[in-house]
Amino acid sequence: MADDLTIQRLLRKMCEVEASDLHLKVGSPPVLRIAAVLHRIDMPPMDADETVRLLSPIIPDHLRAVLQDRGGIDFSHHENMTERFRCSIFHAGGSLHAAIRRVNPKVPDFEELNLPPIYRKMTEVTHEGLVIVCGVTGCGKSSTLAAMVGHINEHRSCNIITVEDPVEFLFRPNMSYISQREIGIDVPDFPIALRAAVRQDPDVLMIGEMRDRETMLAGIQAAETGHLVFVTLHTADTLQSFSRILEFFDTRDHAFIRSSLAVGLRAVMAQRLIPSVRPNIQRVPATEVLLNNTVVADRIRDAEDEDLPAIMAGSAEEGMHDFNTSLALLVEHDWADLKTAEQYSPNRDALRSKVRGISVKADLLVSKANK
């Protein structure tokens, strides 16, 4: 390895090529993850002394003993106050290794993510309550949550506190004041962070992921007490979200949780990323949105969740819609082809019917316009 190669040069290279991660391991050259693919830097493999030389400058003094005692440390590192990195340095095979993630400094907006207008509207008209963004791994939940919080930051004066594991996007205060807390670095776990958050005068609370009973309950209670709470949940669609939430609680508590959701829930917004046919756009979100109105609240409280899909499908004027409606619109507006949309549809026959209905309606409008 050239002696002039430093960790700062590697971090700058990460920014230049927009890499998400940097891996330093003995027996391998440095490796960058770019667009989910690992790329080796063209240089000889590193030995144990070289990884120590590279990593020592960024290891905080107060964590050096912890690294020796526990075998690994996690911390944040800043370069020129404009770039932030989440560092995990650890011993492996008797040598020092590292995984360094770049925190994205650019918060996406709704247009970049191709989200429907209801997402923007929710950030503008909602000032308290619980907003759940759900989907499977890799569906863009974190990006959507960042866009919603970012929009509030640009247009409203709020005190925003985020609790994340890890921090994915770096917010910079605009109209709002923002504190981002990372699990394992700034605070030990979600329950401790949330107990503290409600005493920190937040208007908006963003919880990276609801993953246990205490976090779930804290989020629901914060929403009930006048805070606007954004969370992600690992479920495939809106209906599964209710089942997932209830799984965290004993059966005897379900009526209480349902009552709390009926009052405090504002929206459940599910999404799936599907391949796009438009040039320069790899994937586009298909979405499903449930908004809490009087009818929805009654169904949630009375455990009549099976009625919710029909309510979503029949309430388009409010901004609600199901996955098939979203997929049909993506096909109509040439974001995706029908064959691809069918692969992601929960009901292919229903999707085909919707697409045919949209096509017939469009033909009628064109015919009237030509008369």
Helices 348-370 and 323-332, interaxial angle, to 10°? 40
Quote the CA–CA distance of 135 and 192 in Å, as a whole number.
26
Which range is least confidently modeled, 29-43, 46-60, 212-226, 349-363?
Answer: 349-363
- Tokens 């779930």, residue located: 216
Q: Where are the domains of the chain?
A: 14-103, 110-321
Cα(158)–Cα(124) distance, integer angstroms? 12
pLDDT score recorded for residue 359: 54
pTM: 0.84
Helix (H, G, I), strand (E, B) or coil at 196: helix
- Closest by CA to 189, choosing from 213, 223, 159, 220, is 213
For residues 172-191, average pLDDT: 93
CA-angle at 317, arms to 316 and 323, nearest 5°: 15
Q: What is the arithmetic mean of pLDDT over 285-291? A: 97
Taking the C-alpha atoms of residue 316 and residue 210, their distance in angstroms, rounded to an integer, is: 28
If we measure between CA atoms, which residue out of 45, 14, 25, 46 comes closest to residue 90? 25
In this structure, are strands 37-40 and 31-34 parallel, antiparallel, or unpaired? antiparallel
pLDDT above 90 (res 4): no
> Domain 14-103 belongs to what topology?
Beta-Lactamase (3.30.450)
How much is the pLDDT for 365? 37
What pLDDT was estimated at residue 273?
94
Token pair for 356? 């045919």
pLDDT tens, residue by residue, 136-164: 988 999 999 999 999 999 999 999 999 99
d(CA 25, CA 231): 35
pLDDT of residue 1 exceeding 50, the answer is: no
Give residue-wise pLDDT tens across range 328-348: 999 999 999 999 999 999 999
Instruction: State yes or no: pLDDT of 38 exceeds 50.
Output: yes
Q: What is the pLDDT at residue 2?
A: 55
Domain at 110-321: CATH architecture: 3-Layer(aba) Sandwich (3.40)
The H helix count followed by the E strand count for the chain is: 15, 13
Q: What is the pLDDT of residue 36?
A: 76
Whose tokens are 């963004």? That residue is 133
Where residue 292 falls among pLDDT bands split at 50, 70, 90? very high
Cα 20 → chain centroid:
15
